[in-house]
Amino acid sequence: MRVVISPYRICPIGAHSDHQGGPTLGMAVSAHTVLTFAPDATSTIRLTSDNFPGEVIIDLERLTSVDEHAGPADWSRYVAAAALVLRDRLPESPVGIRGHVRGTLPGGGLSSSASVLLAYLSALADVNDIVLSPEDKVDLALRAEREFVGIKVGILDPAAIVGGRRGQLLSIDSRAARWEGIPLGDNAPEFHILIAASGVTRNLAGTDYNRRVGECFAACRKLTSLAGLDDIAGLHDLDDAVFEQWGDRLPTPERRRARHFFTERARVRRGIELWKQGDVAGFGELMNASCQSSIDNWEAGSPELIELQRTLTEKPEVYGSRFSGAGFGGCIVALVSDFAAVAKNLPGRVFRVESDDGVRVL
């Protein structure tokens, strides 16, 4: 028997930037997808779960889509997506797996989808003697979610889960697909990472996330045309001055999405400086500003999520907080000086997590 530990991730600053090639900040945390597995004698995948009903049964030699041969379990789509994206690397007689998967936190917002995809990819690669580099794992997880699950995600989720290092913040260059661990400055005060669940769950494919991403690309195309530029792949390829000069010419939704991107890019750059200095309070203020922009400009947040974040912001022990994930449900991540004081009387479930290393097979 082998075990894959695939952490969840938080994004303190840099939300909704990676699909435009922008910089973002991530961290793997000590809440995980845990997949216990063994090689099967055939090409069949057989999985059960603590979190979802049913058994997933997939024949690697017959699988052609996420909807074929995947059994009745809804969560089979992610198993099938991992198998499909890896199929060109599988041997002629692929080895399946038998296993059981569980997740340690409820609800959305911590990228459990990327976490579980990377767990499946790691297990299938292990039993089939496939060596995957960190870059391979990120690329395969992205392709699985984009091509087979149908979500237009960026690099943040898989990069944070693959590249995470205990005690470090991960600075992710989405355009170059590179990441670097940033140690916290020596003078930083003690703090804890708090996760507060809103109780509102959502499937990202069922939200307006893809439409928001499309509006970002539409804003990019129009700004590029107005500025007389070409060869622009995303908003990150444009200077702030382009938006300052031409942003008022955009339709309101596209102007708001672009405004969020350009202000968030500045917050990421400043956040890296403050983290290196150990200025947790200043970093927390940027988290609050990032969340407010997600509400005003990205137009995310359920009423429950917004109220929970405002409740946290009012507590003196909270350095900063923001929505975790796409922001249509799920949870809040906060940096706090006193976990017990903040967690007291908060509605819903509250968890304390720490930074963690990235996905690994034990």
Active-site positions read: 157
Where do the H-state alpha helices sit in 89-230? 112-127, 134-143, 156-163, 209-226
Beta-carbon contacts of residue 297 (< 8 Å; ≥ 6 apart): 256, 257, 259, 260, 263
Residue 121's nearest CA partner among 74, 78, 172, 179 is: 78
3-class secondary-structure state, position 323? strand
Contact assessment for residue 31 and residue 104, using Cβ atoms and an 8 Å cutoff: yes
Residues 95, 39: contact at Cβ < 8 Å? yes
Q: Which residue type occupies 357?
A: D
Output 203-210 pairs: Cβ under 8 A, ≥24 positions apart. 204/108, 204/113, 204/151, 204/325, 204/326, 204/328, 205/149, 205/150, 205/151, 207/326, 207/328, 207/329, 208/328, 209/151, 209/152, 209/326, 209/328, 210/150, 210/151, 210/152
> In the numeric block, which tokens belong to residue 127?
């039993």
Element (H, E) at 286: helix 280-296
The structure tokens listed for 269 are 């750059």
Burial class for 101, CB neighbours closer than 10 Å (0-12, 13-18, 19+): buried
Are the beta carbons of 137 and 164 closer than 8 angstroms? Answer: no
DSSP letter for each residue of 125-138? HHHTT----HHHHH
Instruction: List Cβ neighbours of 272 (8 Å cut-off, separation of 6 or more).
Output: 25, 169, 171, 182
